[in-house]
Amino acid sequence: MRGAGMGGGLVASGAIVSALAITGAPWWAIAAVASVLTTAGAVVALTQIFIPQESPDRLAWWRDRRAHQERRRRTMPARSGRRAPDADNGSRRATRAGNL
């Protein structure tokens, strides 16, 4: 049952925007809330469309995703955001400072 929850989301979004308009909120606040709610609704709708909702299909989708990630781990070198501490760390700083 795809998209069953979208009707409720649209009604709730409309109710929130209407409540803001009735209470006299500034137009930019109403526009910001409306755009955030619209974007969130679109993300949910696209997620429900592209990720299978039926149990066997979902299981196959996750298995394929995990297999793909495992293949990427084996073929790509490991990368991390941190550098390992080493002995010439001070000389790098001096070199960088000298290049500025």
Tell me the pLDDT tens digit for each residue of 46-75: 888 887 677 787 888 889 999 999 999 888
Q: Is residue 64, in this structure, part of any structural domain at all?
A: yes
DSSP state of 2: T
For residue 24, the model assigns a pLDDT of: 86
Q: Is residue 54, in this structure, part of any structural domain at all?
A: yes
At residue 3 the predicted structure's pLDDT band, cuts being 50, 70 and 90, is: very low
pTM (predicted TM-score): 0.44
Q: Is residue 58, in this structure, part of any structural domain at all?
A: yes
Q: Is residue 18, in this structure, part of any structural domain at all?
A: yes
Q: Domain span at residue 29?
A: 1-73
Q: Count the neighbouring beta carbons within 10 Å of the beta carbon of residue 33.
A: 17
Q: Is residue 62, in this structure, part of any structural domain at all?
A: yes
Q: Is residue 12, in this structure, part of any structural domain at all?
A: yes
What domain count does the chain have?
Answer: 1
Q: Is residue 21, in this structure, part of any structural domain at all?
A: yes
How far is residue 15's CA from residue 18's CA, in Å, rounded to a whole number? Answer: 5
Q: Is residue 1, in this structure, part of any structural domain at all?
A: yes
